[in-house]
Amino acid sequence: MSSIERRSFLHGVLAIPFLGSALTRADVGDAVRRAIRVRFDEDRFGKRRRVFGSLPIDVKVAGSDTDGALFLIEQIDDAKGGPPRHVHPGQDEWFFVVEGEYAVVVGEERFDLRAGDSVLAPRGIPHVWAHVGESRGRMLIGFQPAGRMESFFETATQLTGIPSGPELVELFRDHDMEVVGPPLGAG
């Protein structure tokens, strides 16, 4: 066997474990292994959720659908504003504007987004966002991995208003986030 044939053979053999693990990925874990259709303006579980009693969100992809790899919501904003500046030490957060206008600040960089625009806030980087348009806003927000975000939104839908400063900080902390500043445009 020539050195070229040996090299090709060795490269092929070395690739088998990686190929095998990719082929068997669908057979492991507890994630759903079928297509899941979620219609426009509907929630994955058929719930009507309102964060802090007023902000509608729909779960589009649950953490249980992906072995915790992804959690995706659609948020509908009728009023201007957004959350306090915060950081996710262990998750990336992705924003995709479906309708309306949003401002997103990641680190020190500001992005003015309109329908079709998106931005990624990498884990460990403080970020803040706000609905800034005059008309309704609609945004998809993804968390990778899902972490405790599903639990955060479930807890927030049980509340009738935005908690006071210390209670809000504790709510974020309990769900693996840290508040590091005020909402966009405040303070």
Please write the tens of the pLDDT for every residue from 14-24. Answer: 443 333 333 34
pTM of the model: 0.81
Q: Which phi and psi angles does 16 have, rounded to 5°?
A: -60, -45
Give how many domains the chain has, as a whole number: 1
SS3 156: helix
Evaluate if residue 117 carries a pLDDT over 80. yes
% the chain with pLDDT above 90:
75
Kindly state whether residue 130 falls inside one of the protein's structural domains.
yes
State the Cα–Cα distance between residues 50 and 58, nearest whole angstrom. Answer: 9
For residue 162, the surrounding DSSP H or E stretch is: none
d(CA 177, CA 124): 10
Mapping DSSP to helix (H, G, I), strand (E, B) and coil, where does residue 13 land?
A: helix
Q: Give the bridge partners for 119, in sequence order.
A: 95
The HSE-up count of residue 153 (CA atoms within 13 Å, CB side) is 24
Question: Confidence band (pLDDT; 50, 70, 90) for 2?
Answer: low
Average pLDDT of the chain is: 86
Percent of the chain with pLDDT over 70: 82
Structural domain contains residue 27: no
Q: Is 25 a domain residue?
A: no
**For position 148, which CATH number holds?**
2.60.120.10
Whole-angstrom distance, CA of residue 1 vs CA of residue 171 = 65
In tens, the pLDDT along 27-67 reads: 445 566 789 999 999 999 999 899 998 899 999 999 999 99
